[in-house]
Chain A
């Protein structure tokens, strides 16, 4: 559970959670448009019931898992996490959800699986942003298996104790707090266990700007902007920029996953 989880630097530096309005009206969810307000404006069109997640690949029990059945099997807890976008802004979000490791255990991860690939729903008649052709839909993301199994990695199904709004990735989305926000893929319909490193959507679009790992790192700049500082959302016109923390403040918990790796190369 959360209480038992060491939070280290993140806990010491934790800011107040953002307001419901900040969290639900300032979103990147290109399936509904590229403006930060588009998801809140257009996500209503999305049908989230019924919903199921196909879990396939290197698992013992592949198949379509109904969202309700997943919820019955999982224990929901609150996790207050920092969210750092690759665009150099940040929020603090009180998520409700369960550890991804528990969901993967439900399907039984087979020996030899090394990566997890995720896929967002593709339904252009309800997700108007998917009508534009410059992204090869559906949106995909990937994690190394040890990243996926890390206790900080959760599947979120709520915010502030309420069902997660559609613009935030209803009915269930990934949250990996030490990585840039785009890794935390929304409205997931498929999870595949594999031994090949998946190519994620942003890596596919601009490989020199977005890598597979996308760990928050103030020392490795985006080619077009600095990642050393971040703007805190919700502070109005005079909101200052604050220093960005290594691994978004979760260094104590996750740095070990990347020991010996050149983080400039594996960005």
Chain B
């Protein structure tokens, strides 16, 4: 089963997935303009973009456990998931900055005063150097440091999940499910890490 998936996956060109995964952007903008996102499209658009970003980060997080536990190798898509996640986080942030808050003084006040925004911002800051170094040149250049740097993604995903949990009026199922997925995928790495340390 895993072998068959691996054979199939090798045939899927990465660029095709990039295009497929960027299609929601024009689609969402179209929906926002034509009422498909409801009567208040700004918040809805912001939310959709943020949620897609979180999903992509979770996919990226799932790649190593999928290989370790099920033998499914999706490693060639990992950079794509990371970069797409960064694109969606950036769009999510832009919608918040430009369409939602708009006022510069209030943006700064929000970042400092509202913990869920501080946390979301921090996640974005952590992801930025990862996106900047997601090229072959940086991988060669940074050597073993590249792996270390890219462990920041664990913190960024946790903060992203927390950001989602904190912004709802009360504890709702959806953000808690995302958080559970993130914690689960991070927990799957623990035995592996421990083994490495004892060896």
CB-defined contacts of A236 to chain B, threshold 8 Å: 32-33, 41
Bound together, the chains give a CA A78 to CA B109 distance in angstroms of 40
| B164 interfacial by beta-carbon distance below 8 Å | no
Q: How far is the CA of A240 from the CA of B103 in the complex (A)?
A: 10
Residues of chain A with a CB closer than 8 A to B168's CB: 34
Q: Is the CB of B39 within 8 A of A240?
A: no
Complex Cα distance, B180 from A70, in Å, reads 50
Binary per-residue interface labels of chain B (81-107) against chain A in the complex, 1 for a CB within 8 Å, 0 otherwise = 000000000000000000101110010
Q: Give residues 130-144 of A contacting B (CB, 8 Å).
A: 132, 134
Name the B residues within 8 Å of A134 (CB-CB).
170-171
The CA of A234 and the CA of B169, in the complex, are separated in Å by 22
Determine the distance from Cα of A234 to Cα of B38 in the docked complex, in whole angstroms.
Answer: 9
A29-51 CB contact bits vs B (8 Å, 1 = yes)?
A: 00000101100000000000000
Task: Tell me the chain B residues, 2-50 only, with Cβ under 8 Å from chain A.
Answer: 32-33, 38-43, 45
On whether the beta carbons of B39 and A233 are closer than 8 Å, the reply is yes
Tell me whether A225 and B114 are in contact in the complex, defined as CB-CB below 8 angstroms, given that A26-B40, A234-B39, A240-B102 are known contacts: yes
In the complex, which residues of chain B have a beta carbon less than 8 angstroms from the beta carbon of A7? none
Residues of A within 8 A of B114 (CB): 224-225
Q: Which of A87, A132, A241 has the most CB of B within 10 A?
A: A241
Cα distance, A154 to B53, chains bound together (Å): 44
| Chain A residues, Cβ within 8 Å of B41 | 236-237
Known contacts A134-B171, A237-B45, A237-B99; A224/B39 CB under 8 A:
no
Cα–Cα, bound, A99→B153 (Å): 57
**What is the CA–CA distance of A25 and B41 in the complex, to the nearest angstrom?**
12
Q: Which among B40, B110, B115, B166 is the interface contact of A89 at CB below 8 angstroms?
A: B40
Known: A134-B170, A224-B116, A226-B109. A237 touches B32 (CB 8 A): yes
Q: Which residues from chain B contact A238 at a C-beta distance below 8 Å?
A: 99
The answer for the CA separation of A141 and B176 in the assembled complex, in Å, is 28
Question: From residue 174 to 232 of chain A, which have CB atoms closer than 8 A to chain B?
Answer: 205-206, 224-226, 228-229, 231
In the bound assembly, the distance between CA atoms of A184 and B106 in angstroms comes to: 29
Taking CB atoms, residues of chain A closer than 8 Å to B170 are 134, 205-206
In the complex, which residue of chain A has the Cβ closest to the Cβ of B173?
A132
A231 & B39 in contact (Cβ 8 Å cutoff): no
| A259 close to B (CB within 8 Å) | no
**A36 contact from B40, B166, B172, Cβ within 8 A:** B40
Interchain nearest-CB distance for A245 vs B (Å): 17
Partner of B38, one of A37, A206, A228, A229: A37
Closest CB in chain B relative to A30 CB, distance in Å = 9
Q: What are 29 pairs between A and B in contact, CB < 8 Å?
A: A21-B39, A22-B39, A25-B39, A26-B38, A26-B39, A34-B168, A34-B169, A36-B40, A134-B171, A206-B169, A206-B170, A224-B114, A224-B115, A224-B116, A224-B167, A226-B109, A229-B103, A229-B106, A231-B40, A233-B39, A236-B32, A236-B33, A236-B41, A237-B32, A237-B42, A238-B99, A239-B40, A241-B101, A241-B103
> Known pairs A21-B39, A234-B39, A237-B32. 12 more at Cβ < 8 A?
A22-B39, A25-B39, A26-B40, A34-B168, A132-B173, A205-B170, A206-B170, A224-B114, A226-B106, A238-B99, A240-B102, A241-B103
